[in-house]
Amino acid sequence: MTLQMYTHTHRFGFFFFCKRRDARSTSRSSCGRAGGTGTGGISWFTNRHFSHFGSFLPSVTGNSERLQDARARERERRSIEVGTRASTSRDAARDEPGRSKSERGRSGRAMSNWADDADELPPPPPGFEDVKAGAHAEEISSIAAKLSGDSTSVGTKAPTVDAPDLALKSDGLREEHAGEVQKTIVDPSTPYTSAKSFEDLGLSEALLRGLYGEMKFEKPSKIQAETLPLILMPPNRNLIAQAHNGSGKTTCFTLGMLSRIDPNLKMPQGLMICPTRELVVQNVSVMERMGKYTGITIASTADPKWDNTNRNKIVDQAVIGTPGKILRWMRERQLACNNMKILVFDEADHMMATDGHRVDSTKILKHLSMNAKSWQVLLFSATFNEAVKSFATKVVPNANQIFIPATELSLDVIKQHRVVVNSVEAKDVLLKEKIFPLCDKIGQTIIFVRTREGARRLHSSMNASGYKCTVIEGQMEHSDRDRVVKEFRDGLTKILIATDVLSRGLDVSTVTLVINYDMPVEYHNPRSPNYETYLHRIGRSGRFGKKGAAFNLILGDAERAICDQIELHFNHKIPEVAFNDDVTFEKVLEEAGLMSKEEAL
């Protein structure tokens, strides 16, 4: 039998409820209000039981401190009584060896009262009657010790992985090695011709002045020469475009957006959607410079003017923002879309991905389809996987397409190798004693580490060995990240350790070496390689047709399998360099242009 007592606070005092529980039945009865006359509900409450609590029942209407003291004294008394009974039971069991275990158990339970029934252990399951408590203590302790030494043990914080920071793109035109352009034209009868100069595009004098005077451009890049006619020429069809980072994509959609806007109409006419606030800020800066002489005004979700308290109608001709806030402006009718002529998605692969902003992007498209009269959609990105490309072609129908095959983006100009090591420490030794001491012609280096914790550890290790390097990871303040990137761009630091926050967008022509300290894997499935991240990572070197190299440091079967899958996916061999083969190692560095021939001799 188990009897439990509950106290319930009431505005008129305290109520006590008693609950009887045994194998046969459960009953609940009111014990009456403290200090009142309702005592009929405790007729079965024995005198002994009542004596345990009778001493402090009147005090429950007093102050809370007296009640707490009484409860503490009762708990102490119960613990002493339970310990005394347990000792007595063990002595009796030793004195009566002839009694069966079941008899002793019944006797022990008969001596128990309502206060300690709940503390008894349940009877063992069939077949385990002879198993004694603590019989496997050593085995359990051994397993616990192993678990406590495991880096992934329960209770430890999982390492933090960063997503790419899309705000680190180049803000100027950068011509880069380009592969064969794959162009799909919806209407072959439309005469699209490649533009040899910006004058061929029929741009206004104000835009030409911004391109030559502010942006310092001389002529369209390859991707701009092919893409801008598709954007600007009637009937202004939708466009899905993939091109290199640094090839001039931002100029394509910014110039296309500015050219479609009528400066004399003070209404929103162009909308650009970006995945991050930082990218909004950067694209606003580019548009302000390029459109400096046009008189076109810009509203952005990053502008403090448009905080949540500002409910005014937006009358700026160009609007740039993140999807969430743009949708709020649409719902609250701050942003009118009836005069919208062009919609741009920057980093469209992220905007259309299931783990990105696909839902918000489709809502924006739907809103424009219900409000705008005639409008054009531009999707631009450095990469499109097949799933995203398939979805994009469905939501943006009848679109012209321009794609540069992903393997042509970087792989042909970058020497890739793998080095197998047997420990994390060996990776550090490889960097400190082989790669950096031998690379006398090395420009700048980026070392990619998967987690923030790993990046900070490696940074400390390299600095302790005398290598001046900086680190960038997602937990840093934006001002610190901007400072680190600026120092690297200005050449003040030669070695930059980074998580994937830097895998996209950083455009530094002097980067000649990329090291995958950890192989890139999918965020939610560390056993699956992230092919696009690999491409973006190694694409930080070998910029603009220059020589570059990428070393993949392989530890264990898991990373070896990741590297093998990347090799098969791109159909591009990643040969192995033996850790202790100095001759081959030096030859590889020489072929990659990182080591002079004299040094190799």
What does DSSP assign to residue 33?
A: E
Distance in angstroms (rounded) separating the CA atoms of residues 593 and 415? 10
Give the DSSP letter string of 341-402.
Answer: -EEEEETHHHHSSTTTTHHHHHHHHHHHHHH-SS-EEEEEES---HHHHHHHHHHS-SEEEE
The pLDDT of residue 597: 63
Cis peptide bond upstream of 437, omega within 30: no
* Dihedral over Cα of 331, 334, 338, 340: its sign: negative
Give per-residue pLDDT as tens, 8-38: 444 444 444 444 444 444 444 444 444 444 4
Contact between 392 and 240 (Cβ < 8 Å):
yes
Q: pLDDT value at position 7?
A: 43
pLDDT confidence of residue 246: 60
Which residue is it, tokens 């008899």? 103
- C-beta atoms surrounding 182 within 10 Å: 12
- CA–CA dist 382, 244 (Å, integer): 5
CA dist 344 → 161, 208, 256, 380, 492 (Å):
29, 21, 9, 8, 36
> Quick one: which of 554, 538, 548 has its CA closest to 589?
548
236: alpha, beta or left? (left if phi > 0; alpha if psi -120 to 50): left
Q: Which two tokens mark 31?
A: 């014990």
DSSP secondary structure letter of residue 187: -
CA distances to 59, 95, 217, 372 from 46, rounded to whole Å, are 21, 31, 98, 82
Looking at the domain covering 410-600, what would its CATH class be? Answer: alpha beta
Q: State how far the Cα of 376 lies from the Cα of 393, in Å rounded to an integer.
A: 14
pLDDT digits (tens, 9 = 90+) for 157-172: 556 776 555 444 444 3
Q: Does domain 182-408 have CATH number 1.10.10.10?
A: no
pLDDT less than 70: residues of the chain: 1-159, 162-180, 244-247, 355, 404-413, 439-441, 503-507, 509, 542-547, 596-601
Contact 179, 406 (CB under 8 A): no
Cα 266 from Cα 334, distance rounded (Å): 14
Residue at 51: amino acid letter: S
Place of tokens 């800020």: 281
Question: DSSP per residue over 216-254, as a string?
Answer: ---S--HHHHHHHHHHHSTT--EEEEE--TTSSHHHHHH
Contact in structure between 475 and 484 (CB atoms under 8 Å): no
User: Could you tell me which of 251, 276, 241 has the C-alpha nearest to residue 164?
Assistant: 276
Return the pLDDT at 159: 66
> Is residue 272 within 8 Å of 319, Cβ to Cβ?
yes
Q: Structural domain boundaries of the chain?
A: 2-119, 182-408, 410-600
This prediction has a pTM of 0.53
Whether the domain at 182-408 and the domain at 410-600 fall into the same CATH topology: yes
Residue whose token pair is 């890739």: 416
Q: Check residue 163 and give its pLDDT.
A: 59
Helix (H) or strand (E) holding 102: helix 101-111
Contacts of 35 (CB under 8 A, 6+ apart): 13, 58, 61
Residue partners of 369: CB distance under 8 A and separation at least 6: none
- Amino acid sitting at position 129: E
